[in-house]
Amino acid sequence: MSEQKPIVSSIQIKFGRAIQQRRKELNLTQENLAHRTGLDRTYIANIETGKINISLRNIEKLAKGLSISLSDLFKNCALDGEPSQD
């Protein structure tokens, strides 16, 4: 039996990059962000690499921990072929 790899969507990857970019702008480590949000550091690492489909509740925690609005957080996450809201 072969092990199936999870499907990673484009939006998960783009969202993860947006989280990582904002975290780095604030000069935060994943550990710092984990303390700010109450989320585990490995969970944040998996978000940043697009490996998990994050819940709305945790998106809100991340936005607060990164001192950014939800709309700004999603600004750079438009799917291919969809216009971004500039």
Decide yes or no: CATH 3.40.190.10 for domain 10-74. no
Tens digit of each residue's pLDDT, the chain (86 residues)? 556 665 667 889 999 999 999 999 999 999 999 999 999 999 999 999 999 999 999 999 999 999 999 999 988 776 555 544 44
Structure tokens at 56: 């709305």
Structure tokens at 7: 């499907």
CB 67 within 8 A of CB 19: no
What is the residue extent of each domain of the chain? Answer: 10-74
